[in-house]
Amino acid sequence: KFRGLDNTVKKLATVGGIALLVERTVRLGQVLVAAGSDAEEAANAFSVTFGGAVASLTDEIGDFANMAGLTAGEMQQLLAVTGGVVQGLGATQEESAALSAATVRLAADINSLRNVQGGTERVIQSLTSSYAGEREALKSLGIGIREVDVVQRALADSTATTASELS
């Protein structure tokens, strides 16, 4: 009697093991498809943002990513966001590519100096947000930019003579 039960238990264990293996394989496939899709989206955003200036950044993507501890796709996404913000302020694709590259280098230097929680990626995000006037994130990096300094610089770089004329 126990022999038949023993064989039944073995068969059930084998079927259960196969079912678990199939489930894990399907789950891995889903993760890989999602990762591939994310990488493709990042590459598309990167190409759309920088257009003809892509070539100037492509050679450096691997170096930038290694410097930041990111994948090439993650770096492309960060650069695309930075480029998009800068282009929204009036920069050309070439100008935004140059500033995006400079942003990554500066972020790597700041992270190396400050060992920021969140690494170079967080520093890039903080610098990018500062380009749109959001200076709060810079404070956590030890960078303080006072409103009076911004106004004085804007007055020096424009034809305005008072702060109220800047708006």
* pLDDT tens readout for residues 89-148: 999 999 999 999 999 999 999 999 999 999 999 999 999 999 988 889 999 898 898 888
Do residues 50 and 57 lie in contact, with contact meaning Cβ atoms separated by under 8 Å?
yes
What amino acid is encoded at 132 in this protein? A
For the chain, what is the mean pLDDT?
82
* Choice between 68 and 24, residue whose per-residue pLDDT is larger: 68
CA 125 and chain centroid, separation: 7
* Choice between 88 and 39, residue whose per-residue pLDDT is larger: 88
Per-residue pLDDT, 67: 77
How far apart are alpha carbons 84 and 112 in whole angstroms? 26
